[in-house]
Amino acid sequence: MPALVLLGAQWGDEGKGKATDLLGGSVDYVVRYQGGNNAGHTVVVGDQKYALHLLPSGILSPGCTPVIGNGVVVDPSVLLSELSGLNERGVDTSKLLISGNAHIITPYNVTVDKVTERFLGKRKIGTTGRGIGPTYADKINRVGIRVQDLYDESILTQKVEAALDVKNQMLTKLYNRRAIAVEQVVEELLVYADKLAPYVADTVLVLNEALEQDKVVLFEGGQGTLLDIDHGTYPFVTSSNPTAGGACTGAGVGPTKISRVIGILKAYTTRVGAGPFPTELFDEDGEALRRIGGERGVTTGRDRRCGWFDAVIARYATRVNGLTDFFLTKLDVLTGWEQIPVCVAYEIDGRRVEELPYSQTDFHHAKPVYEMLPGWSEDISKAKSFSDLPKNAQAYVKALEEMSGAPISAIGVGPGRDETIEINSFL
């Protein structure tokens, strides 16, 4: 029963979509277990480029069943337009399964996301504005709407009433907005019921039976470790658990079933939205990483903040996820630098600190301590094996591996499926 978890080891956008797609050809199920359409996963197959938000990246592998687990929040309009966009390009999406327990992002959750961000002013999180936080808040407050509620109009109406009761007071009295009518929301949601019906399933049962039958299941995280609500740079985080434990709760699979946890790790660091980022660059190196790496958000189109590799973060990701492997991505982007700084520790108020501080204040004060590693100038995008890499690129990978605490089992040297050096097999 090989069950693999694949997740982001930094602040998201590490290349999870590419890595999942690469493995998709050899696995039976790919499962999203948290997050929603705040995610933006780019997959390049031949000369075709796909941007996926809610659908697991395994959707592009014909033999693979894509699953949206109970821990995901689903915006039905986004899901349906993503499905029809893929259908128009000839992708068969008929195998998709959606958990009846997944929560629905309603139009009022999107409204609340936008108004609360506006009210936070300079303290805003810089969310994607897709209603993610408010939908998880409703889930925890026990006033959420689940996919299964679409199939009982009376229950749906009662639940929308309960959810809007307090929200309408808040919208009208605090935020100076118009109240949202219950009937209008119910009517809008009911339109999705028939369209989603063919996909809705007891995904917990399906996945556990698949594991019993020795099928290969890959759990694909959205976002990254440092955006985790519990283990990330709170409050500048998303509202779910991208870390490995999230795969268990977000898909209904016990921890004893997980055999491998793969951390996707960019050869440098990026972040979107607000929050601390010790190795962030504000100079021409940062600009160059952004330009060469194409660091622009797939979901919001925002420029990503860029900086050097941070080994303190990588070590932390190994620890909180129990990583068994790393998949190092975008090594090709670093070609051309004479020397590449790597953050090996932080200096915090005059002290050298080797591990991620639990205190938010300390992390905000952390200054990177850099070690300089020699760069390379040869084009590495055609490299097929580790020995094809220039000596300095090999040494860079080895140094990162040593500092990060888990073996680097694959290396990305370009966005395409085949632009990958496989060192240890994942299956």
13 or 310: CB nearest ligand GDP = 13
Provide the pairing of β-strand 367-374 with 351-353: unpaired
Select the binding partner of residue 132 from ligand IMO, Mg ion, ligand GDP, none (C-beta < 5 to 8 A, by kind): ligand IMO
20 sits near ligand IMO (criterion: CB under 6 A):
no
Q: Which stretch binds ligand IMO (CB under 6 A): 121-129, 316-324, 382-390, 397-405?
A: 121-129
Select the binding partner of residue 223 from ligand GDP, ligand IMO, Mg ion, none (C-beta < 5 to 8 A, by kind): ligand IMO
Detail the DSSP E strand segments found in 240-296: 260-266, 269-271
Q: Which residue has the tokens 């190196």?
A: 285
415 sits near Mg ion (criterion: CB under 5 A):
no
What is the Cα–Cα distance from 98 to 74, expressed in whole angstroms?
A: 9
What is the Cα–Cα distance from 263 to 7, expressed in whole angstroms?
A: 5
Q: Is 304 annotated as a binding residue?
A: yes
- Cβ contact 237:246 at 8 Å: no
202 is catalytic: no
132 sits near ligand IMO (criterion: CB under 6 A):
yes
41 is catalytic: yes
What is the Cα–Cα distance from 32 to 397, expressed in whole angstroms?
A: 29
What is the Cα–Cα distance from 41 to 7, expressed in whole angstroms?
A: 12
* Least separation in angstroms between CB 333 and ligand GDP: 5
Residues 234 to 293: which contact ligand IMO by CB under 6 A? 238-239, 272-273
Annotate each residue in 360-399 with x if it binds ligand GDP (CB under 6 A) or - if it does not, as one string.
----------------------------------------
- Cβ contact 287:268 at 8 Å: no
* Least separation in angstroms between CB 136 and ligand IMO: 9
125 sits near ligand IMO (criterion: CB under 6 A):
yes
139 is catalytic: yes
Q: Which residue has the tokens 């893929």?
A: 86
13 sits near Mg ion (criterion: CB under 5 A):
yes
Select the binding partner of residue 414 from ligand GDP, Mg ion, ligand IMO, none (C-beta < 5 to 8 A, by kind): ligand GDP
Among 10, 99, 233, 329, binds ligand GDP (CB under 6 A): 329
Residues 231 to 290: which contact ligand GDP by CB under 6 A? none
Full DSSP string of 333-368: GGTT-SEEEEEEEEEETTEEE-S--S-HHHHHH-EE
32 or 345: CB nearest ligand IMO = 32
* Least separation in angstroms between CB 13 and ligand IMO: 5
135 or 208: CB nearest ligand IMO = 135
125 or 210: CB nearest ligand IMO = 125
What is the Cα–Cα distance from 116 to 114, expressed in whole angstroms?
A: 6
Among 5, 9, 11, 17, binds ligand GDP (CB under 6 A): 17
Alpha helices in 89-230 (DSSP H): 107-120, 132-140, 153-169, 182-196, 203-212
What is the Cα–Cα distance from 26 to 18, expressed in whole angstroms?
A: 14
- Cβ contact 218:27 at 8 Å: yes
Residues 287 to 326: which contact ligand GDP by CB under 6 A? 294, 298
> Which amino acid belongs to residue 280?
E
Tokens of 323: 């990583």
What is the Cα–Cα distance from 146 to 143, expressed in whole angstroms?
A: 10
Q: State the angle between helix axes of 244-251 and 203-212 in degrees (0 to 180), rounded to the nearest 10.
A: 110
40 or 307: CB nearest Mg ion = 40
- Cβ contact 328:400 at 8 Å: yes
223 sits near ligand IMO (criterion: CB under 6 A):
yes
Residues 23 to 82: which contact ligand IMO by CB under 6 A? 38-41
127 sits near ligand IMO (criterion: CB under 6 A):
yes
Q: Which residue has the tokens 């797609």?
A: 21
15 or 100: CB nearest ligand IMO = 15
3 or 227: CB nearest Mg ion = 227
Q: Which residue has the tokens 């075709």?
A: 48
Q: Return the ∠ at Cα 79 (arms to 73 and 81), rounded to 5°.
A: 155
Provide the pairing of β-strand 29-32 with 260-266: unpaired
Residues near Mg ion (CB under 5 A) are 13, 40
* Annotated binding-site positions: 12-18, 38-42, 128, 142, 223, 238, 298-304, 330-332, 412-414
Residues at the site binding ligand GDP, with contacts judged by CB under 6 A: 8, 12-18, 40-42, 44, 294, 298, 329-330, 332-333, 412-415
Binding-site entries for IMP: 13-16, 38-41, 128, 142, 223, 238, 302
The residues carrying an active-site annotation are 13, 41, 139
